[in-house]
Chains A and B, each alone.
Chain A
Amino acid sequence: MSPPVAVIAPLLVVLFTAILTAVAHRSLRVQRALSVLGGVAYLGAVAYLFARVKAEGTLVYQLADWRAPYGVTIVADDLSVFMLAFGSFVGVAALAFAVVYVDEVGQRVSFHPLYHFMLVGVTGSFLTGDIFNLFVWFEVMLMSSYVLVVFYSGAEHTRAALQYVVLNLVGSALMLVAIGGLYATVGTLNMADMARRLADPAAFGITTLAPVLGLSVVLFVVFALKAGIVPFHWWVPAAYRAAPAPVSAALAGVVKKVGIYAIIRLYFTVFAPADLGELALPGFSGSGPLAYFGPVLLVMAIASILLGGVAAVNRDDIDDLLAYSSVGQVGFIVLPLALAAFGIVAGVDAPAPYGDVAGVSGLAVLGVTAALVYSLNHGLAKSALFLASGAIYDATGTSRLDRLGGLAERAPVLSGGFFVAAIGLVGIPPLIGFFGKFLVFDAAAVAGSELALGGALAGAILTITYVTRAWNRGFWGTPTEVVDATRTNRTQVAVVVVLAIAVVGVGVAFDPVLEAAIEGAAAALDTQGYVDAVNPDTTTSATSGGGHA
């Protein structure tokens, strides 16, 4: 059987685009054309991969034909392609915006290659089946985002970037420590192989699994840092504010979700089967790694929801508000993951369509589904909002609410796009945001967790508070001087409108989206299915087997 090139195609397309746009920097027109064409081709490759995975199930690509677990394995399953699908859409939408937003000198110097490299990192992270390879893609993603955050090179940008770089360098170091530790303890880097070894340690000469929990926590810190979950959210507000609008849109809409994906992939697919014995810490019960992560995630999620929501209420700058809102919204994504962990540990079932999906707790399927749908919602809505903010900045020269006012009169279409995305955050049906909130609430109700339900309710009310305040101050009221002189860029507005339509459309036609999300959740929870698909060599110590086919 020929290796399924479809798996590696999105990565290659975007990698080549990155290189080509770097080479073509002499002509802005050629560079832009290559960049946009590459983006479109990337979307096509993702769509093709999505269709292939839906038709044929999990697809695996062994690089250089080295059999897993010895080489690097790329795996496209229902979870990966779900993330990849909306990530690529948002990423390319923001790119289209950037073409008419970032100043021409900046575009020629390095914007396009860096942006595409960021997409390379994102794509690689979603697709890789190897934890060290994941580290590499994180580095690619980080390196490009460092520069994109500092892109404007002003004092504030440099300050934000410095903090972003330092905290993420700490993260990179910790990630390396954790991966090295896991390799030393479990003896492999391939995720499927690791899952298999954790489920049956004795067969692989692993004497104790005890260190695995701590090592997985070290790794978790990195993902939490990436996703901006409290108390690892520090860099978020300044970095989102400093970066050019399309970059903030991509960071909040896509890059943040890589952290979420990594948490789902590693903790629910790979680490979950490890039997650690009953946890010996007060306040924790159960035996797997998820018994530890459940309560931790719950506390972090609620802290994020409350801190992000409260801090967003009185922000004077739209980008600042959106950044704090991102901290709060990521709490909504993590909250159902905490409940999913609880579902697995306590074996809680949920009614159809979540029960009997992956042969695991229905609550776990519901929780992961909720996290995926909420991620999709946040990806679309928040990027639309950041881009709208960019378009406003471009048109008025400011994104400060106290200098704006009456935008709805002077820029009705752009304001309409902002409004739709904003009520998407609030969760008004039938927008996709409603279904995100709804699934989170449902997970809390099924789990019987008043704490989670109360936190989610409080967060939702805070969201209404800051969204209505921003709308009243910036979009209603008498047009200010800067707003009176507004001239919006049509292409920028068009991109915002496309994303706003997506926020509505994905909600109205929710059924296929939900199906894909449930399949993604099922894939995340089906460790055996993942291991079988990758099918790592089982003859580690014997003399035969493996190798080049």
Chain B
Amino acid sequence: MAVNLATLLAVVGLPFLAAALTPFVYRFLGERTAYYAAAVALACLGLVASLFGTHGAVSVEWIPTLDVSLRFYVDGLSLLIATLASGVGVLILTYSGAYMHDEPGQAKYYAALLAFMGSMLGVAFAADMIVLFLFWELTSLSSYVLIGHYQRAGPSMYASRKSMLITVAGGLFMLAGFLVLHAVSAEALGSATWALFGDGGILMPENAAAMQTALADQGLLVPVLALVGIGAAAKSAQVPLHIWLPNAMEAPTPVSAFLHSATMVKAGVYLVGRLRPLLGGEEWTAAFVALGLLTMTVAAILAVAATDIKELLAYSTASHLGLIVAGFGFTSFYGAETGAFHIVNHALFKAALFLVAGIVAHEAGTRALNELGGLREDLPITAGIAVIAGLGMAGVPPFNGFYSKEFLFKAAWEYATVHEGVAFLVPVVAVFGSIFTFLYSIRFVAMFFGDKPDALGHVHSPPAIMLGPPALLATLAAVVGIGGVTATFGVHLEPLETFVASVIQATGGELGGGAHAVAASGAAGAAAAGSEFTYHLPTSRESLPAATMSAITIVLGAAAYTEYDALHARLDELISGPLTANYYYDGLTDGANPFSDRVRNAVQTRRLRTYATWTLAAFVALTLGAYAAAEVTLALPVGELLPVTPPKLAVWLVLALAGVGAVMVVRANSHVAGVLTLSILGFMVAIFYILSKAPDLALTQLVVETLVLVIFLLVLDRLPAFYGNVTRSTALRDGVLSVAVGATVAITVLLATATRPDSIASYFVRTAYPEGGGSNIVNIILVDYRAFDTMGEIAVVSMAALSIITLIALRERGETQ
């Protein structure tokens, strides 16, 4: 079924419209704005639901000149992300109604959440690289605002800036990758396009082969992988760019649950899944399996070292995102199954756990793990939710996370058996990381059991409105888990399996079959042969290695759990300093400030001498470089001055006096002497004009020179007579520079006067009298041919007068401004 454009525009546009209206709505509804926002999210969810069963691309023009359109595309993957964004949105916004009671800045909070939801829906459906980037950056921006929600708190500000720096900068790398893809598409497809899907889109099955060939031929596959990979890694908190995510927990807990576990951080893995059919291959696997498993393991270890329940969940999120990235990294069908299915499972259990964390923090008043225990007495329902979701996170059968983790083990094992050798490290690392996942999951759940610390006091029951959303999420997670059990006996959870199959298809399914596999991946509708998706408890022989890996994980995990506290303490101690990515981030951002000062102070000395020196030196270097580059030939006009006849003698004399004057200026030891000797130069120039038969120029020069001299002397009388001391090296530098500047100007003049082109001057000579009515050509030029210039100069002179008035009138007012 074709996609309805109006529905898509509505689903993406509605949240933005609602966000814009939020300040007004808040004025009327106050705290109940939460339900207004939840209603908007529900409407979006309904619109998304109406898109199920449709497939394809639609577009509406935006910037036709650039061929950028609001292109949208609907398939399994986009529906998955959109359902998460709107569905979790409904729950989160409802939950906020109770959680945000009496909190500051609610209008801004709901507006930002709605705008975020719209952006996330935009990311999901965008089928144009520019439009995708647009919504991508808007999610980062709304995240910045939401993390900084408690805008008076230092940690919030630190966290929001960190997330902005990392995710927006990462986005720029992604944009660079898109630009390369755009350029490559020109070669591969005949005309450059920004479209991912739709006519001529680079991800369309019929275009994939040509794009792959062009990328490989131009050697651009690895650069594109790297650029897009950095963008995805920044957004999805992959090591070492994961560091913003734990800090992002400064946001109110509903925000953490929504943006920083269920949706926004999925944008990165979404991108990886999206591009998998196009870029998948050996380099792809090497990059993303390594990145994903590294993140999964490192973040899981960090989660064990965490002391705060939200921090634990944040690291856990990064770890699970790593699992998804690693899944998409494999080109096998198992790989696609891992990624697609785990997105669903993770969203369910992690959003539930965050909301649980929110309830605990809200009702118990602390988030420190060692201060929490025995909560099941006061929070029985919450404890039930935590158990279901927590065991899913741990990967314990038959809870939901178990099944998707099994796919990872299968993919890893298959990869190892095919590639052999070092490749066996892949399943080993996968199991190793999973042990830590198991550990922290159990630790999280354990706060509901055991003894209640005395300091905790009575913990209130949360309001129903806060309990409903996590309960619903946990129920769904439980249903997924039970579906696996029933499937073992042939009763499948059909809608879920079909849906996940469509997501798998969208991410390319089994890659490596060349064009055929790619073509199959894009095919609409029912699953092609071999790409059906089912999940169940391990029963067959093929699932033995993966099942064994799960068993090892759980057994070792359970054994290690007895030593959890020791392990936690040891890791907490170990992970510090240069071993952490934060060390480098803080080093860079903190170091940037003094570095900024050093650079500023070194460059902007506030001294005119420095500025003039560099300005003139750059002028000399650039100009002489240009003369050298153009290979000018310099002819000194000595011929015109030799032999020395009486008229030429006068010129020599003037030159000599001017030279003496120039030397004297430098040697003058007072202002007055300096000005007087400088005027020698000026008067010599006037005499030179006389010798060159230019009496009006000479007259002007004499007037100016006299006036300047008089004014100088009048002003200098009021200045201190002190001339600064000049060191030898400064004097030398200044001397060299002035000679260089003088030489450059002299060369310029010599070169310019060496030629006699046909000049417009001949026209003036010819027409000055008949057309201009005057015999003094210069005057006619000034008042007729180029009177416009003269008008401008008159403006300058009037302004000079105005300047003097201003300086005098305002001189005493300086301190008041």
Which residues of A are at the interface with B, using a C-beta cutoff of 8 A? 15, 18, 22, 63-64, 66, 69-72, 103, 105-106, 109-110, 113-114, 117, 120, 124, 132-133, 136-137, 139-140, 143-144, 146-147, 150-155, 157-159, 162-163, 166-167, 170, 174, 177-178, 180-190, 193, 197, 201, 204-218, 220-221, 225, 231-232, 234-235, 237-238, 244, 276-277, 279-281, 284, 292, 296, 307, 310-315, 324, 351-353, 406, 408-409, 423, 426-430, 434, 437-438, 441-442, 445-446, 453, 457, 460-461, 464-465, 468-469, 472, 476-478, 510-511, 514-515, 518, 537, 540-541, 543, 546-548
Contact = CB atoms under 8 A, between A and B. Distances in A.
B161 A468 contact: yes
A226 to B, nearest CB: 12
Given A110-B802, A181-B751, A217 B622 contact: yes
B800 A143 contact: yes
Given A109-B806, A163-B608, A477-B151, A221 B622 contact: yes
A69 B760 contact: yes
Nearest to B810: A153
Given A117-B799, A540-B758, A408 B806 contact: no
Contact of A133 (B592, B625, B748, B792): B792
A503 to B, nearest CB: 14
A246 to B, nearest CB: 13
A153 B811 CA distance: 5
Given A136-B789, A187-B760, A314 B594 contact: yes
Contacts of A117: 795, 799
B749 A181 contact: yes
B647 interface: no
Contacts of B626: 213-214, 216-217, 292
B62 A511 contact: yes
B771 A140 contact: no
Given A167-B612, A279-B629, A548-B771, A105 B157 contact: no
Contacts of A476: 148, 151-152, 156-157
26 contacts: A71-B786, A103-B817, A110-B803, A136-B792, A139-B796, A152-B814, A177-B749, A178-B748, A187-B757, A210-B751, A211-B630, A220-B622, A221-B623, A225-B615, A281-B625, A307-B599, A310-B599, A351-B192, A441-B172, A442-B179, A468-B164, A477-B152, A511-B63, A511-B65, A511-B66, A537-B763
Nearest to B619: A221
Nearest to B789: A136
B764 interface: yes
A154 B815 contact: yes
A120 B756 CA distance: 35
B786 A453 contact: no
A132 B786 contact: yes
Contacts of B52: none
Contact of A280 (B161, B597, B629, B763): B629
Contacts of A477: 151-152, 154, 157
B372 to A, nearest CB: 30
A476 B157 CA distance: 8
Nearest to B162: A468
Interface of B: 62-67, 130, 133-134, 137-138, 141, 144, 148, 151-152, 154, 156-157, 160-161, 164-165, 168-169, 172-173, 175-176, 179-180, 182-183, 186, 191-192, 589, 592-597, 599-600, 603-604, 606, 608, 610-612, 614-616, 618-619, 622-633, 745, 747-749, 751-764, 766-767, 771, 784-789, 792-793, 795-796, 798-800, 802-803, 805-807, 809-815, 817
B806 A206 contact: no
Contact of A72 (B148, B745, B758, B789): B789
* In the complex, the 6 A-B pairs of residues with the closest C-beta atoms, listed nearest first: A154-B814, A234-B611, A181-B752, A187-B757, A136-B792, A314-B596
A543 B766 contact: yes
Contacts of B63: 510-511, 514
A457 to B, nearest CB: 6
A324 B625 contact: no
Contacts of A212: 630
Contacts of B749: 177, 181
A177 B745 contact: yes
B630 A132 contact: no
A70 B760 contact: yes
Given A147-B799, A468-B165, 12 more contacts: A72-B785, A72-B786, A114-B806, A139-B793, A140-B792, A184-B755, A188-B760, A231-B615, A231-B618, A276-B630, A313-B593, A445-B182
Chain A CB count within 10 A is highest, among B154, B192, B631, for B631
Contact of A70 (B67, B179, B631, B764): B764
Given A114-B799, A153-B810, A205-B756, A472 B592 contact: no
B152 A187 contact: no
Nearest to B594: A314
Q: Is the interface of A mostly helix, strand, loop or mixed?
A: helix
Contacts of B595: 310, 313
Contacts of B180: 445
A310 B593 CA distance: 9
A231 B156 CA distance: 39
Contacts of A151: 806, 810
Nearest to B140: A428
Contacts of A442: 179, 182
Nearest to A419: B145
A310 B749 CA distance: 40
Contacts of A408: 151
Given A311-B603, A313-B596, A110 B619 contact: no
A176 B182 CA distance: 46
B144 to A, nearest CB: 8
A205 B632 CA distance: 18
A457 B176 contact: yes
B66 A232 contact: no
A202 B453 CA distance: 97
Contacts of A541: 758, 762
A152 to B, nearest CB: 4
A430 B66 CA distance: 14
B757 A186 contact: yes
Contact of A140 (B156, B612, B796, B807): B796
A442 B151 CA distance: 36
B63 to A, nearest CB: 5
A409 to B, nearest CB: 8
Chain B CB count within 10 A is highest, among A106, A113, A314, for A314
A458 to B, nearest CB: 10
B64 A511 contact: yes
Contacts of B191: 351-352
Chain B CB count within 10 A is highest, among A109, A174, A207, A429, for A429
A447 to B, nearest CB: 11
B748 A214 contact: yes
A105 B748 contact: no
Nearest to A473: B157
Given A153-B810, A311-B600, A426 B168 contact: yes
A167 B802 CA distance: 21
Nearest to A159: B606
B559 to A, nearest CB: 46
Contacts of B603: 307, 311
A356 to B, nearest CB: 13
Contacts of A178: 748
A83 B167 CA distance: 34
Nearest to B104: A409
B789 A166 contact: no
Nearest to A235: B611
A217 B150 CA distance: 54
Contacts of A464: 164-165, 168-169
A225 B594 CA distance: 28
A314 B630 contact: no
Given A109-B806, A478-B152, A143 B141 contact: no
A310 to B, nearest CB: 5
Nearest to B618: A231
A379 to B, nearest CB: 20
